[in-house]
Structure 1
């Protein structure tokens, strides 16, 4: 049995659009293909079945390589809460859990994002190796989501993304 650690990534973002629009951007394949783990120009597949137990899939192609992100919806409570699993099978068998909560504000909404990140251990790792890996997984995930959330904000507030949000 493989050992693993977990770490939580928590992020908060504000949007000047209604929570319903942000919620839709997480579920609408035409919106997903523009910002979620992909760019419109590199996206090959963006599909989902947004119901409890339904699945989602994004396939992005960069530099001749395909990157596949998949998951299953666990909670869909529009426009307040979305919980789903996240896995990139080409890298690991681990499955993370992502929670998105939206809170209406006077002008727009606030998004609270949590990713429970599973960090697999390699045989023979020391405590120092484990701590380093946990930090790298956390920081790498945070960097990626920062870029994606910048793209999401621009898409929702300006109608387009003018930069490569996840290269």
Structure 2
């Protein structure tokens, strides 16, 4: 049996800008991390079938996440596989949607095929913090 997590956040930025931040390795390095973690190291080939690697550096050490892009539909939807020690080395699937909402965008992360409830719980907390990092990064960049 696999588990699923859905996390969403309304971010005051256009869908195109948020979508692009998910494919730009330099941008991902800044916000794709848990609260209090060091910036990540990101290598990405952002095209359908292209692969990525995100190394997050936290209090408990490094965690490498790898996968491949399955859907890139700018600025509406992004889907990719996601594998790390927290998915027990098994490919899970992340679908991110971007829905314009007035002067902002609702970003929803739908993560499926997680191996168990413990992995789902960790990923729900992780994606919640990561969307917060994305919002802070977009807000700070806009203010600069």
TM-score range, shorter chain: 0.7 to 0.9
Is 1:42 matched with 2:53? no
How many residue pairs match? The answer is: 142
What is the CA distance between 1:89 and its match in structure 2?
4.9
Unaligned 5+ segments in structure 1 are: 120-133, 161-167
Task: Check the 8 A contact 2:57/2:63 in 1, yes or no.
Answer: yes
- Pick the structure with greater CA Rg: 1
Q: Aligned partners of 1:31, 1:54: CA distance in 2, in Å?
A: 18
| Contact 2:32–2:130 (CA under 8 A) maintained in structure 1 | yes
CA deviations over 1:32-78 (Å, ceiling 9, x no partner): 00121368x73462110000000111123345833211110000000
Q: Is the CA contact (8 Å cut-off) linking 2:30 and 2:40 kept in structure 1?
A: no
2: CA distance between counterparts of 1:62 and 1:14?
Answer: 26
Per the alignment, residue 6 of structure 2 pairs with 10
RMSD: 2.3
Runs of 4+ in 1 over 4 A off after TM superposition: none
User: In 1, distance between residues paired with 2:112 and 2:74?
Assistant: 21
Q: 1-side partners of 2:111 and 2:19: how far apart?
A: 17
- Length-normalised TM-score, structure 2: 0.87
Tell which has more relative contact order, 1 or 2 (C-alpha 8 A, sep 6+): 2
**Aligned counterpart in structure 2 of residue 135 of structure 1, from 98, 106, 117:** 117
Which consecutive unaligned segments of at least 5 residues does structure 2 have?
none
- 1:37 and 1:69 in contact (8 A); partners too: no
* Distance across 2 between alignment mates of 1:10 and 1:94: 19
Distance (whole Å) between structure 2 residues aligned to residue 91 and residue 146 of structure 1: 17
User: 2:100 pairs with 104, 110, 114, which one?
Assistant: 104
Residue 164 (structure 1) aligns with:
none
Q: Which residue of 2 aligns with 1:74?
A: 70
TM-score, structure 1 as length reference: 0.75
